[in-house]
């Protein structure tokens, strides 16, 4: 886990723990095992959400999109510059584009795109790192935050779906 930002790795882990907690709540209600949260650099949680793809019957109801929407509403504006988004999984292209449109330039995530693919969740074949540097301004990615915990959410969910555990 590496980051050029002043945010310490222990703070990223703390943020991810709160996101994982909400993700577990979403899984318990039948959702896919993804969660995201928006935070200030000094550690204040602005918004947190889990996927609602199943509940809403909406393929765009990803946790990152929902967390961004909640944060923008709470802050009364669409510009989320200076904030962090923390996601249990490496953001898909749709979510990364929304992150960029919101002005967020720092992303921390747990499970990699490879793990997401291995758990049979699609990534459209494009990793966040392939897209992040192409955006203007570029988005800084910090991967591997509580990677084991986040990956376990995905793998355990698929095992449950397949009747393996």
Query: What distance in Å separates the CA atoms of residue 7 and residue 16, rounded to the nearest whole number?
Result: 13
Q: Residue 2: helix, strand or coil by DSSP?
A: coil
Task: Give the distance from CA 108 to its chain's centroid.
Answer: 8
Q: Residue 30: helix, strand or coil by DSSP?
A: coil
Query: What distance in Å separates the CA atoms of residue 119 and residue 59, rounded to the nearest whole number?
Result: 18
End-to-end CA distance of the chain: 30
To the query of whether residue 31 is one of the catalytic residues in this protein, the response is no
Out of 64, 90, 117, 140, which one is annotated catalytic? 64
Give me the active site residues, please.
64
């Amino acid at each position: 886990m590496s980051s050029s930002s002043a945010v310490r790795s222990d703070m990223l882990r703390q943020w991810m723990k709160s996101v994982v907690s909400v993700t577990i709540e979403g899984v318990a209600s039948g959702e896919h095992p993804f969660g995201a949260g928006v935070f200030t650099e000094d550690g204040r949680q602005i918004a947190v959400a889990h996927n609602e793809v199943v509940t809403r019957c909406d393929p765009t109801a990803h946790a990152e999109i929902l967390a961004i929407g909640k944060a923008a509403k709470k802050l009364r504006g669409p510009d989320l510059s200076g904030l962090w988004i923390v996601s249990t999984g490496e953001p898909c292209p749709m979510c990364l584009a929304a992150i960029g449109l919101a002005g967020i330039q720092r992303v921390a995530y747990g499970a990699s795109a490879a793990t997401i693919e291995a758990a049979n969740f699609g990534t459209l074949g494009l990793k966040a790192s392939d897209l992040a540097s192409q955006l203007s301004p570029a988005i800084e990615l910090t991967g591997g935050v509580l990677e084991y915990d986040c990956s376990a959410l995905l793998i355990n969910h698929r095992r449950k779906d397949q009747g393996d555990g």
